[in-house]
Structure 1
């Protein structure tokens, strides 16, 4: 089992537990150059809000998308979009990534700006 398969296995297990709870989830995906966040409904079929380092507003704040500063900007943006959509409580889906570095920075920024998880 290589690193990607192990990460995807962890992601499947997490998503199965979140599906049992029937909660809206905040899903995070990171690459070397960017970080993405989506708020997905209970069924897993609709994206209710999204933010990433590809957005012009985030890019102007953070510059390079592959750093902690960019992750904080994405966390703030996703929390604002979630509040605008009427969502306050979510389950955090780290997609098998370690809760460290950029993933942790995004989560902490989202919490600071009003998301509960």
Structure 2
């Protein structure tokens, strides 16, 4: 059985090793904006901080991500939260981030590190 929480954390973990560079431009001028992910970001991006109606591991944000990657915290542990629908949406987006950033288009023109 697939664990959406674990799969999303794995994808996010791969993003930690990457740097996304957005090249924003207009009228011959451009600006580069770097998007860098840190281990502590997953907790908030996934919306886990909103799950105040269940008991998550009492660790800091980085510790929760590590617990997920080590299968000490699974989707089954959070699925009874009343906030699960919001978290599900976020987890699916996180799972798609590498695909989104890897597309060649006019918005994401350059990558400093390969995804």
TM-score (norm 2): 0.26
Larger Rg: 2
Identify which of structures 1 and 2 has the higher relative contact order when contacts are C-alpha pairs closer than 8 Å and 6+ apart: 2
